[in-house]
Amino acid sequence: MMQETMFIDPQRCIGCRSCVAACRECGTHKGYSMIFVDYLDRAETTATMPTICMHCNEPTCAQVCPADAIKQTEDGVVLSALKPRCLDCRNCVNACPFGVPKYNSAMHLQMKCDMCYDRTSEGLKPMCASVCPTGALTFGKYQDVVPLRRTKPVNVHVFGNQKVETKVFLMLPTDEEAVDVDGCGVFEGRLGVDPSIHESWIDTQVEETDKGNEF
């Protein structure tokens, strides 16, 4: 069983998108990147945030798949849809609370980060975590990584009434027990305001290159 997992420390992310470039080099989805890096609000800060699959313990994407195309390995890695089974329905794309799976129109296939299963199952590190200059993405064992950090590993995410536990840990600077997505402040203060007014064109650029839900 693979004991290692991914630790995401957004505080360290420098927005270099090395991870995005490296993910394209993975053996299983050559040329397509499964990771996204966003500016949080470029007008205010240079802060950026990488998004990979969180590898939910009970993956919503797999639960909503009518064709049972999305498999979870024994060690908790949620794989891309199996090509012969994928039905083009895109339920998974809409269901994932983290917005991770993307639909590849050319291949008629859902694709997502599979924690570089081709590499990690052979003892190598995932591409993105290998190259990440800062350790914003780190792959390793909990007992090896966590004692070295001054941040708190969190793998419980609260989306309204849904509580999602993940294999991947977010490293947070606070004493939070969980990431409360509804109340974390990211969306506060924006209600009633046209978001496009605040969004820098650089954010828009990233949206367009990284964030479409299709390849």
Pick from 131, 146, 158, 179 the residue near another protein by CB under 8 A. Answer: 131
Question: What does the alpha-carbon distance between residue 87 and residue 85 come to, in Å, rounded to a whole number?
Answer: 6
CB nearer to another protein: give 61 or 116: 116
Helix residue spans in 15-126 (DSSP H): 18-23, 60-63, 91-95, 117-120
Question: What does the alpha-carbon distance between residue 96 and residue 51 come to, in Å, rounded to a whole number?
Answer: 12
CA-nearest of 53, 55, 49 to 17 is 49
Q: Which two tokens stand for residue 173?
A: 């600077």
The answer to whether residue 26 forms part of the interface with ligand SF4 (CB under 6 A) is yes
Pick from 3, 46, 105, 162 the residue near another protein by CB under 8 A. Answer: 46
Choose the stretch contacting ligand SF4; rule: CB under 6 A; options: 88-96, 103-111, 121-129, 207-215.
Answer: 121-129
Question: What does the alpha-carbon distance between residue 40 and residue 127 come to, in Å, rounded to a whole number?
Answer: 24
The answer to whether residue 25 forms part of the interface with another protein (CB under 8 A) is yes
From first CA to last CA, the distance across the chain in angstroms is 32
Residues forming contacts to ligand SF4 in the complex (CB under 6 A) are 13-19, 23, 26, 34-35, 37, 50, 52, 113-116, 126-128, 132-134, 136-137
Residues forming contacts to another protein in the complex (CB under 8 A) are 11-12, 14-18, 20-22, 24-25, 27-28, 30-31, 42-48, 125, 127, 130-135, 148-150, 200-202, 204-205, 208-209
